[in-house]
């Protein structure tokens, strides 16, 4: 019965591979599957620091996952091969950039977190795919490309503008949220997120020898887990790492329902960190969705978010079951606290408190079970 259930969860593309009667036949199917995902992997890793190396590493990781799937489909089921390969390639590409410029990438992730979780800010995507950021009040008046004399001067020489942005104050000492509010206010309009990071990097006088901390963590108590989920464990640590993730997921499933929703829907150490359970075979996307136990009302309130509604409205009319609705939501995780608060019909601070309580509980229960660092 379990084997039939696992088989039903597999991407149909994998059926011939998993059911191959011989290793020779399985190898032929494996090569065909890798050839299928190779173009997508190449397109994604082309944005990386070392495109060729990143592509090969992504395909290697996909190959390992496919072999695990054939050996134990109940444990390592892959429900969507193309999406799985794209997530692997995205992670490899991001890791290569982090290795090249770790301080810059850490700042970028910190800025993204602040923009998504501080009520005064907004981070949104335009119709042409560009990401814009600014004050909430600037969002309604900005739908596409923005430019001004101040933005041109800021990008050319950020340090020449710091006194105008923060009169009498030191940009290296103020809180990140305070610096962003001052910058957006002085600029008078939103700007592209890709333009923001180098400006803040310069205003903060950062270099690759500098340690970056996010002092605007939104009252979030997830740092105990984030130091692990963004690690790339050595081979000898893999068994311990996998055991830790399994234990962590079991504890997450035991959280009270509202804590579980607040914790998982904004579970991130950057972008897409919830994938850590899926990529390591701990919990499928379907299982993560089932753990959340979202209702029709929750989904309806989520679709009220302007950014989600603009992208998903054509698809939502066609969705008929829970798994389809969650698959749409999954593509836009992590959600900001305002959206989660709307889903739960509560206040944003309540969401923050729920997630903090979840983090504290998990920290207590897993305190003696953290993998050892090098």
pLDDT digit string, tens, across residues 207-217: 765 544 444 44
Q: How confident is the model at residue 108 (pLDDT cuts 50, 70, 90)?
A: confident
CB contact at 8 A, 93 and 44:
yes
What order of strands is seen across the sheet that includes strand 191-192? 121-125, 131-135, 191-192
Helix (H) or strand (E) holding 25, with range, is helix 23-45
207 against 290, higher pLDDT: 290
Place of tokens 């939502």: 316
Nearest to 84 by CA among 279, 242, 284, 245: 279
Domain boundaries, the chain: 2-99, 105-203, 223-366
Can you read off the two tokens belonging to residue 13? 């593309």
Q: How confident is the model at residue 283 (pLDDT cuts 50, 70, 90)?
A: confident
Which residues have C-beta within 8 Å of that of residue 83, sequence separation ≥ 6? none
Q: How confident is the model at residue 295 (pLDDT cuts 50, 70, 90)?
A: very high
Using CA atoms, how far apart are residues 107 and 200, in angstroms rounded to an integer?
Answer: 8
Q: Is the per-residue pLDDT at 199 higher than 80?
A: yes
Instruction: Give the number of other CB atoms < 10 A from CB of residue 93.
Output: 23
Which residues have C-beta within 8 Å of that of residue 160, sequence separation ≥ 6? 153
C-alpha torsion sign, points 201, 203, 207, 209: negative
Residues 218-238, mean pLDDT to the nearest whole number = 41
Which of 86-100, 189-203, 213-227, 336-350 has the weakest average pLDDT? 213-227
- pLDDT at 299 (0 to 100): 87
273 against 95, higher pLDDT: 95
Mean pLDDT score across all residues of the chain = 78
**CA dihedral defined by 222, 227, 230, 232, rounded to 10 degrees?**
-150
CB contact at 8 A, 318 and 273:
no
* 89 alpha carbon, distance to own chain's centre: 14
Q: Is the per-residue pLDDT at 222 higher than 50?
A: no
Using CA atoms, how far apart are residues 236 and 277, in angstroms rounded to an integer?
Answer: 19
- pLDDT at 343 (0 to 100): 93
Among residues of the chain, what percentage have pLDDT more than 70?
76
């Amino acid at each position: 019965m379990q084997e039939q259930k696992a088989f039903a969860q597999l991407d149909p593309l994998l059926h011939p591979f998993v059911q191959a009667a011989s290793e020779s036949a399985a190898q032929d199917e494996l090569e065909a599957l890798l050839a299928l995902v190779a173009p997508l992997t190449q397109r994604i890793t082309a944005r990386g620091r070392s495109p060729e190396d990143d592509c090969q590493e992504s395909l290697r990781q996909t190959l390992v996952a496919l072999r695990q799937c054939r050996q134990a489909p109940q444990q390592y089921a892959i429900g969507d091969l193309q999406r799985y390969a794209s997530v692997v390639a995205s992670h490899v590409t991001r890791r290569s950039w982090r290795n090249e410029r770790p301080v810059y990438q850490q700042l970028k992730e910190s800025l993204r977190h602040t923009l998504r979780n501080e009520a005064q800010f907004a981070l949104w995507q335009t119709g042409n795919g560009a990401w814009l950021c600014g004050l909430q009040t600037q969002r309604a008046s900005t739908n596409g490309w923005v430019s001004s004399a101040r933005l041109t001067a800021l990008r050319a020489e950020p340090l020449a503008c710091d006194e105008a942005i923060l009169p009498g104050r030191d940009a290296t000492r103020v809180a990140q949220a305070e610096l962003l509010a001052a910058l957006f206010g002085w600029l008078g309009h939103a700007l592209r997120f890709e333009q923001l990071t180098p400006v803040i990097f310069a205003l903060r006088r950062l270099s690759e020898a500098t340690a970056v901390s996010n002092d605007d963590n939104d009252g979030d108590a997830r740092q105990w887990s984030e130091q692990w989920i963004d690690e790339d464990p050595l081979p000898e640590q893999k068994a311990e790492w996998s055991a830790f993730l399994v234990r962590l997921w079991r504890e997450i499933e035991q959280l009270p329902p509202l804590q579980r929703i607040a914790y998982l829907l904004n579970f991130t150490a950057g972008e897409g960190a919830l994938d850590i359970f899926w990529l390591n075979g701990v919990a499928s996307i379907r299982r993560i969705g089932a753990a959340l136990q979202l209702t029709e009302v929750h989904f309806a309130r989520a679709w009220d978010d302007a950014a989600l509604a603009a992208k998903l409205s054509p698809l939502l009319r066609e969705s008929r079951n829970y798994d389809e609705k969650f698959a749409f939501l999954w593509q836009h995780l992590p959600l900001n606290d305002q959206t989660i608060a709307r889903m739960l019909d509560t206040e944003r601070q309540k969401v923050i408190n729920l997630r903090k309580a979840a983090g504290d509980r998990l920290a207590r229960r897993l305190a003696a079970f953290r993998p050892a660092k090098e």
